[in-house]
Amino acid sequence: MAEIKNHRIPVYAVLVTILFKLLFLLTHYIQEDAFITWRVAQNLLDYGVIGFNGAEKISASTTHLYVFVSYFFNLIFGKENFIEPLLIFNSILFTIGSLFLSNLLLKNIWHKALFIFLIGILPPAIKISILGMEYGILFFLEMMLLFYGFNKGKKWALIILPPLILFTRIDTIIFLGVVFIVDILWNKKIRWSYIFGGIFGVGAVLAFNWFYFGEVINNTIAAKKLAYDKSFTLEQNLKYFIQNFGNFWGMLKLPGNFNPLTVILLIFEWLCFTYLIRQKQKRNFFLWIIFIFGWVKQLVFLSQKSLFDWYYWVPQILLFVPVLLFVLEQKEKRNLWLFLLLLFYIIPMLAFQTVHSIATGNGEWNYRRTIGLFLNSYEKDKDQWIFLEPAGYVPYFSGLKTIDEVGLVDEKVQDEIKKDKKNFWINTVKKRRPKYLLSYNDLFTSENAEFIKLHYKLVKEFRVKDHLKSSNKILEKIYILKPSGSDYNLYERID
């Protein structure tokens, strides 16, 4: 009986970790892009179409599976009440995924419990759980594939899970490919069920895109590649790498171009990984998978100049796994190692993420959301259009039809970029005549000021500094310490 109870300890760790992380829901820190996915889900609910603006089909979200999950949560809980249940669901799935990972890498139940909790409170794990993105589902599915498909040898997992993973994000082909290569090199055999699952998954996603949207690759990928396309010299590439180095491999963003903590962490991760794989254990198979994947994923996205930090959350966590294993399995002075890890890394990271979540939640939920709420009450005709960037909070809470400057939610913008990238913005305004413009800039002093003054009036200025106050003095100090958001000007068409 005692042994059975002991086996439940990692499960208890899952529950404790989930409850602990739910405190971060109070910060209202939700990623902008989550609201794009949720609006697509609600568009499916209202119009029966996967789109963003009424009956027009468009793959405005990078994730098909999460759109359907969000659709069902909207259906069950209603548009006003689905967000918190969905964020809790994401947190549960991620933490169960960490349970699968602990079972692959550890034997001692107390080590598993500590592993689950410490992984769960790392900054990227907190963001995966409560920012509303699809990575909670993705981490769960990927770890489930490793546990049931490659540890337990379940054929159903090898066939069913790859399509689900690919429908969550198409770029997971990197993860599936790394697993395939390591498996062949390690086991010297081909798992035909896995090959079938992978081929079926790729075929199903591409077929769905083609027959439903009339495209092979998601619109979001095409739009970002077009909008953010840059030709850099070798010197510019090196400068770009140095500027963004800490964002890719570190777990925190510090001001400045170089983060020495990132270098120390990188070296320590490599040392721990090297130490562990020299032990010749069965789990090395999974260590090779997660470590190679972590590096390949980050290098691929770095090479494509992908700045969005959510691309790096899962790799950041997996690359840190060897550090935790190394510390937890020390036979001598384990408590000292654990104390030092907590004191110099885990607790500072948790403190940083807490401050970051509170400040950014204020800038997003208490500030940017108010712009959408203002427009919702100001403009009752929801068939009117707004032209802005980005297409998250403001379109979601305003309910207005939306043109975004990247073309994620409106493909016609991409046509204008292809024709004349330099002048696509003003050309779009002239051609589409949106009723509202929301801009970071003062358009009355821009190069297009003459046209804007003739056809638009300034309705309201939204300023970050107006949202840095709180009755709670600690919160106010955090808001002032790390102000989050951008200043906006809202213009309305007058003719």
Over residues 156-169, the pLDDT tens digits come to 999 999 999 999 99
pLDDT band at residue 426 under the 50/70/90 scheme: very high
The stretch 133-143 carries a mean pLDDT of 97
Q: What is the pLDDT of residues 451-467, one digit of tens each?
A: 999 999 999 999 999 99
Cα distance between residue 239 and residue 232, in whole Å? 10
CB atoms within 10 A of CB 161: 22
Token representation of residue 303: 């090479």
Q: Does pLDDT of 4 surpass 60?
A: no
- Contact (Cβ atoms closer than 8 angstroms) between residue 87 and residue 130: yes
For the beta sheet containing 456-462, the strands, ordered from the edge strand earlier in sequence to the opposite edge, are 401-404, 385-388, 436-439, 488-493, 456-462
The stretch 120-132 carries a mean pLDDT of 94
DSSP 214: S
Q: What is the pLDDT of residues 183-218, one digit of tens each?
A: 999 999 999 999 999 999 999 999 999 999 999 888
* Domain assignment of residue 338, yes or no: no
Full 3-state SS string of 216-258 = CCCHHHHHHHHHCCCCCCHHHHHHHHHHHHHHHHCCCCCCCCC
Token representation of residue 465: 């500094």
Q: Which residues pair with 461 in a beta bridge?
A: 489
More confident position, 239 or 81: 81
Q: What is the pLDDT of residues 349-372, one digit of tens each?
A: 899 899 999 999 999 999 999 999
Cα distance between residue 417 and residue 405, in whole Å? 9
Peptide bond before 390: cis, by omega within 30 degrees of 0? yes
Nearest to 33 by CA among 309, 229, 294: 309
pLDDT band at residue 6 under the 50/70/90 scheme: confident
Least confident of 225-239, 240-254, 258-272, 349-363: 240-254
* Domain assignment of residue 412, yes or no: yes
The DSSP secondary structure of 255-279, one letter per residue, reads: SSS--HHHHHHHHHHHHHHHHHHTT
* Domain assignment of residue 460, yes or no: yes
pLDDT band at residue 221 under the 50/70/90 scheme: confident
Q: What is the pLDDT of residues 58-70, one digit of tens each?
A: 999 989 999 999 9
Q: What is the pLDDT of residues 321-348, one digit of tens each?
A: 999 999 999 988 889 999 999 998 899 8
* Domain assignment of residue 247, yes or no: no
* Domain assignment of residue 487, yes or no: yes
Q: What is the pLDDT of residues 76-118, one digit of tens each?
A: 999 999 999 999 999 999 999 999 999 999 999 999 999 999 9
In Å, how far from its chain's centre is CA 206? 22
Task: Say what the pTM is.
Answer: 0.94
Q: What is the pLDDT of residues 381-413, one digit of tens each?
A: 999 999 999 999 999 999 999 999 999 999 999
* Domain assignment of residue 138, yes or no: no
pLDDT at 117: 97
pLDDT band at residue 434 under the 50/70/90 scheme: very high
Mean pLDDT across the chain: 91
Domain containing residue 474: 359-493
* Domain assignment of residue 370, yes or no: yes
Q: Are strands 488-493 and 436-439 parallel, antiparallel or unpaired?
A: antiparallel
- Contact (Cβ atoms closer than 8 angstroms) between residue 93 and residue 44: no
* Domain assignment of residue 326, yes or no: no
Alpha helices (H) in 106-172, listed in sequence order:
109-120, 123-130, 135-144, 155-168
Q: Does pLDDT of 256 surpass 90?
A: no
CB atoms within 10 A of CB 113: 22
pLDDT at 251: 60
pLDDT at 226: 81
More confident position, 266 or 252: 266
The domain tally of the chain equals: 1
The stretch 126-135 carries a mean pLDDT of 95
pLDDT band at residue 2 under the 50/70/90 scheme: very low
Q: Does pLDDT of 1 surpass 50?
A: no
